[in-house]
């Protein structure tokens, strides 16, 4: 039985795409392994959002060249966003790479792997090199990301509802790597989630580059409800589904119908990840974010009014071209004002072929690092306070399995997406557990299951 290894870089969309590839290989008789040294097929599913992700994938593939020398029969491949952006150029300095497959062709990976394996089995060592590069567009590819492997007792799953992005933020390469917005049908998404629930999944997260703009070009509004709200309502009706999440949205996609849905759909978890990016209107305009800081604050207030106890998390970029100390101060003050439950803080990373990369007033790396660390301190403090508010309270936790930091304990997430570590045995994995929080430590909570009588 041939064996395969997939390493994934980047976002949940990439994780989901890797699971699709894994499923297609397993159904053909391949076995998934946890180490590239054991594999006959080694695939790196790549990210291009930041330069560091590019460099990690390139460095990893470079190191794999030593394995290729010892075992030239192994198939090596790049998948995903960096493959899409760089295409055939990836073959120039990495002669052992056999596959470069872009973001619209994940469903073809298994075919290409078998084709390369067949070629390697037939050709002599002195034959010309054989490789496959496919980064072309494929209409309808959004409907092909629908199957995935589940681990035993897996209780959570990601479901891709769309591909691509039309927003063209000036710092972002995603429109080039993922293409224009293309949405799956509500019926197909519901079918996939019903299947997942029948296999034990209790929580699904709907994925899209701009998830709350789902279907805006393909499907009509009904009763003044956007296609995304229609989708949320349809998924909410699935028997056996306990929790529903979505990521990542854009502030402009939060209309009255979506905020009303947050208020009334009980399965929607009390957590919204709402990217801010900057608290300076000047920088937001340069980023092409199409909202102001004032509108963002108003939206946060409306979401909090719609659902008691809802957690708000965010993304912020520091050091965007032209960001002055005054601009950064506005971001800092807004983050302090909102008191996010958590935030991902990124130093701006120039991406080739994006407008921001060619802007004047690029910021020195030392300044980016200083602002990054300063903002992290503020976020850490607000996250600590959010956790401490839960001490001595009972919270519902969906147990995902052993804790990564302490395998002797279990871990899961609250409805507000906070990690809880607690004592328990394997019978709790995949189950909803009421846990009494006894301690908050950084971003994690620690507690004890409450015995139900």
Residue 80 and residue 103 in contact, taking contact as beta carbons nearer than 8 Å: yes
Contact criterion met (CB below 8 Å) for 107 and 85: no
* DSSP label of 442: T
Quickly list DSSP for 199-217: TT--EEEEE-TTGGGTTTT
Question: Would you state the torsion angle of the CA atoms of residues 417, 423, 425, 430, taken in this order, to the nearest 10 degrees?
Answer: -10
For the chain, give every residue range classified as CATH 2.40.50.140.
394-449
Where in the chain is CATH 3.40.50.12160? 3-134
Q: Regarding the domain delimited by 3-134, which CATH topology (the fold level of the hierarchy) does it fall under?
A: Rossmann fold (3.40.50)
Would you mind telling me the total number of residues written for the chain in this entry?
453
Residue 300 · residue 273 · CB < 8 Å: no
pTM: 0.91
Residues 156/201, Cβ–Cβ less than 8 Å: yes
Q: Could you tell me the two tokens for 444?
A: 């994690």
pLDDT by position in tens, the chain (length 453): 899 999 999 888 899 999 999 999 999 999 999 999 999 999 999 998 887 888 999 999 999 999 999 999 999 999 999 999 999 999 998 999 999 999 999 999 999 999 998 888 766 555 557 889 999 887 877 777 777 778 888 999 999 999 999 999 999 999 989 999 999 999 999 999 999 999 999 999 999 999 999 999 999 999 999 999 999 999 999 999 999 999 999 999 999 999 999 999 999 999 999 999 999 999 999 999 999 999 999 999 999 999 999 999 999 999 999 999 999 999 999 999 999 999 999 999 999 889 999 999 999 999 999 999 999 999 999 999 999 999 999 999 999 999 988 889 999 999 999 999 999 999 999 999 999 999 998 779 999 999 764
Q: In this structure, what is the dihedral angle of CA atoms 189, 193, 196, 197, given to the nearest 10 degrees? A: -170
Reported as half-sphere exposure (CB side, CA atoms, 13 A), residue 26 has a value of 15
Output the pLDDT for position 453. 47
Q: How far apart are CA 163 and CA 81, in angstroms?
A: 12
**Which tokens belong to 131?**
């490789």
Task: Give me the pLDDT at residue 452, please.
Answer: 63
Pair type for strands 432-441 and 162-163: unpaired
Buried b (16+ CB within 10 A) or exposed e, 223-239: eebbbbbbbbeebeebe
Euclidean distance between CA atoms 237 and 422, whole angstroms: 31
Domain limits, CATH 3.80.30.20, in the chain: 141-388
Q: Which is it for strands 182-183 and 203-207: parallel, antiparallel or unpaired? A: unpaired
Spatial distance between the Cα atoms of 384 and 386, rounded to a whole number of angstroms: 5
Taking the domain 394-449, which CATH number applies? Answer: 2.40.50.140
Strands (E), 47-172: 75-80, 99-101, 132-134, 156-160, 162-163
Is residue 201 a contact partner of residue 150, using CB atoms and an 8 Å limit?
Answer: yes
Q: What are 195's two structure tokens?
A: 């299947």
The structural architecture, per CATH, of the domain 141-388 is Alpha-Beta Horseshoe (3.80)
How far, CA to CA in Å, does 373 sit from each of 326, 366, 379? Answer: 17, 11, 10
Determine the Cα–Cα distance for residues 200 and 430; give it in Å rounded to an integer: 8
Cα–Cα distance for residue pair 274/64, rounded to 1 Å: 38
Copy the structure tokens of residue 152.
Answer: 């035993």
Residues 6+ apart with CB under 8 A from 444: 387, 418, 419, 420, 421
pLDDT of residue 128: 57
Place of tokens 């591909």: 163
């Amino acid at each position: 039985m041939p064996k395969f290894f997939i390493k994934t870089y980047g976002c949940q969309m990439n994780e989901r795409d890797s699971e699709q590839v894994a499923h297609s290989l397993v159904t053909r008789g391949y076995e998934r392994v946890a180490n590239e040294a054991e594999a006959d097929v080694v695939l790196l599913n790549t990210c291009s959002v930041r330069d560091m992700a590019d460099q990690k994938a390139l460095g990893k593939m470079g190191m794999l060249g030593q394995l290729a020398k010892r075992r030239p029969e192994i198939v090596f491949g790049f998948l995903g966003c960096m493959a899409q952006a760089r295409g055939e150029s990836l073959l120039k300095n990495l002669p052992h790479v056999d596959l470069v497959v872009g973001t619209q062709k994940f469903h073809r990976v298994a075919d290409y792997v078998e084709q390369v394996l067949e070629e390697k089995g037939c050709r002599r060592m002195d034959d010309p090199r054989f490789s496959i590069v496919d980064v072309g567009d494929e209409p309808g590819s959004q409907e092909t990301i629908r199957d995935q492997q589940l681990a035993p007792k897996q209780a959570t799953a990601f479901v891709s509802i769309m591909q691509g992005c039309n927003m063209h933020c000036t710092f972002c390469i995603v429109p080039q790597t993922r293409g224009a917005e293309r949405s799956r049908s509500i019926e197909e998404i519901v079918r996939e989630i019903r299947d997942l629930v029948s296999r034990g999944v209790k929580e699904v997260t709907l994925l899209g580059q701009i998830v709350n703009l789902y279907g805006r070009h393909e499907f009509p509004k009904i009763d003044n409800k956007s296609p995304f709200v229609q989708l949320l309502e349809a998924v909410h009706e699935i028997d056996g589904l306990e929790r529903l999440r979505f990521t990542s949205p854009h502030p402009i996609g939060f209309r009255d119908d979506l905020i009303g849905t947050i208020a009334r759909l009980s399965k929607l978890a009390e957590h919204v990840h709402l990217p801010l990016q900057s608290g300076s209107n000047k920088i937001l305009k340069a980023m092409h974010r199409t909202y102001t800081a004032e509108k963002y604050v108003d939206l946060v207030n409306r979401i909090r009014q719609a659902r008691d106890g809802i957690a708000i998390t965010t993304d912020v970029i520091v050091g965007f071209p032209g960001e002055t100390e005054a601009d950064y101060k506005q971001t800092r003050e807004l983050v302090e004002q909102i008191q996010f439950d958590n935030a991902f803080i990124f130093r701006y990373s120039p991406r080739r072929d994006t407008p921001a990369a060619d802007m004047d007033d690029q910021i020195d790396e030392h300044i980016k690092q200083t602002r990054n660390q300063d903002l992290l301190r503020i976020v850490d403090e607000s996250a600590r306070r959010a956790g401490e508010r839960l001490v001595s309270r009972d919270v519902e936790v969906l147990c995902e399995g052993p804790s990564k930091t302490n395998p002797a304990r279990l871990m899961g997430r609250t409805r507000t997406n906070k990690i809880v570590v607690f004592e328990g045995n394997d019978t709790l994995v995949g189950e909803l557990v009421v846990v009494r929080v006894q301690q908050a430590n950084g971003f994690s909570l620690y507690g004890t299951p409450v015995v139900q009588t």
